[in-house]
Amino acid sequence: MTLPISETCKNPPPPAVLVVDDDKILRQALASLLRSAGHCVEEFGNPIAMLAHPVTKSAACVILDIRLQGYNGLDVHSRMAASGIDVPVVFITGHGDIPMSVRAMKAGAVDFLPKPFKHEDLLNAVDRALELHQEGFEKRRHFSCLQARLSTLTPRENQVMVGVIKGLLNKQIAWNLGISEITVKMHRASVMRKMSVVRVADLVRAGEILGLSNGLHLT
Output the pLDDT for position 107: 72
Residue 98 has pLDDT above 70, yes or no: no
d(CA 204, CA 191): 12
Output the pLDDT for position 63: 96
Residue 215 has pLDDT above 70, yes or no: no
0.75 exceeded by pTM: no
Question: In this predicted model, what pLDDT tens digit does every residue of 171-197 receive, in sequence order?
Answer: 999 999 999 999 999 999 999 999 999
d(CA 92, CA 139): 28
Q: Where are the domains of the chain?
A: 7-139, 152-210
CATH, domain range 152-210: 1.10.10.10
Residue 213 has pLDDT above 80, yes or no: no
Domain covering 7-139: architecture: 3-Layer(aba) Sandwich (3.40)
Cβ-Cβ contacts under 8 Å for 19 (sequence gap 6 or more) = 27, 30, 31, 34, 41, 42, 43, 44, 63
In this prediction, residues 135-145 reach a mean pLDDT of 87
3-state secondary structure at position 21:
coil
Question: In this predicted model, what pLDDT tens digit does every residue of 30-54 receive, in sequence order?
Answer: 999 999 999 999 999 999 999 999 9
In this prediction, residues 167-173 reach a mean pLDDT of 94
Output the pLDDT for position 1: 39
How far out from the chain centre does Cα 127 lie?
16
In this prediction, residues 101-117 reach a mean pLDDT of 83
* β partners of residue 91: 64, 112
Q: What is the DSSP string of 109-154?
A: -SEEEESS--HHHHHHHHHHHHHHHHHHHHHHHHHHHHHHHHTTS-
Output the pLDDT for position 97: 66
Which helix (H) or strand (E) is 175 found in, with range?
A: helix 170-177
